Amino acid sequence: MTYKVFIDGEEGTTGLQIRDRLESRAEISLIRLSGDRRKDPEARREALNASDVSILCLPDDASREAASMTESNSTCLIDASTAHRVASDWTYGFPEMDAGHRAKIAEAKRISNPGCYPTGAIGLIRPLVSGGLLPADYPIAVNAVSGYSGGGKSLIARMEDPKHEKAVNSAFFAYALGLEHKHVAEMQMHGGLDRRPIFAPSVGRFRQGMIVSVPLHLSLLSGGATVERIREALGDWYSGCRFVSVASPEEAEARVALLDPEELNDTNALRLFVFGNQKRDHVVLAAQLDNLGKGASGAAVQNMNIVLGLDEAAGLK
């Protein structure tokens, strides 16, 4: 059987990555709009309603517009923007988030693709909150560094073109220091947190890849938490998952001196680490992923596969 898929916003960074993962698959027939038809509301409306799955790779307002244009009950929308990530009538597209969540995605007609930073943060935090090791009111701080492709075409141009009028020449920069980053609500809600986390994102001079880290004081945790108990809790939560893994103590030890944000590039993998010093009462949780993979296009394709009843890993690695 062939399934019709429309990527609304195909020419953007995420859209291009999704297209690359789909266009060689025999069971997928891409609905393509060329030239000015990509911005023609009626052409888009027709494509949205003719598809089995439409993936929205658009700014927030444009995604809301596309959702309002989709009237077919047989079309599933997967929204890669932030527009619907905390909406009660959309299903959050993180299949590994809870036991049974994959089944919810399979039945959904409106799926909000997780953000890249929240994928790492929620992947680390939610199992510990649900398991009673991390209090829901813990004063969480999330630190992260991403490749510059996460900023879309505008930031890519500023990082890669030294003649750009707003060229960025730094090797590294922090941003969103007004503490109003749009991913925070998503982290709090789907992380199961009562208290709004502090989020400190940054960008490095590499195109893609990401590390998200959460430092904790062991003595402020619950249930007699230790480094090993935290690692075991994460390992149990993600046991059997194809794309989420928890590093062994030996794997973590091998990366104590250097955790490479680019190590999982071009994959849909999310690897979680527990770095701890029991003597100092400290632990740092870390998530390693490709911000364009499990953090964007890979996750969208994974969700599409689940919705269509296909092999979850089809077109992914």
What does the block give as tokens for 22?
């789909």
**Which residues face 142 on adjacent strands?**
199
Residue 295 CA, chain-centre distance (Å), reads 3
Kind and range of the H or E element at 189?
A: helix 184-191
**Residue 201, beta-bridge partner list:** 144
Q: Which pair of structure tokens corresponds to residue 107?
A: 């039945």
DSSP designation for 294: I
CA distance linking residue 69 with residue 62, whole number of Å? 10
**How many Cα atoms are found within 13 Å in the side-chain-facing hemisphere of 32?**
10
Nearest to 144 by CA among 188, 197, 202, 184: 202
CA–CA gap between residue 112 and residue 85 (Å, rounded):
5
Phi/psi class of residue 285: alpha, beta or left (left: φ > 0; alpha: ψ in -120 to 50)?
A: beta
Which residues in 134-170 are b (16+ Cβ under 10 Å) and which e? bbbebebebbbbbbbbbbeeebbbbbeeeeeeeebee
DSSP at 317 = -
Establish whether 116 is a catalytic residue: yes
Q: What CA–CA distance (Å, rounded) separates 181 from 51?
A: 33
Count of beta carbons in the 10 Å neighbourhood of residue 219 = 8
Catalytically active residues, by annotation: 116
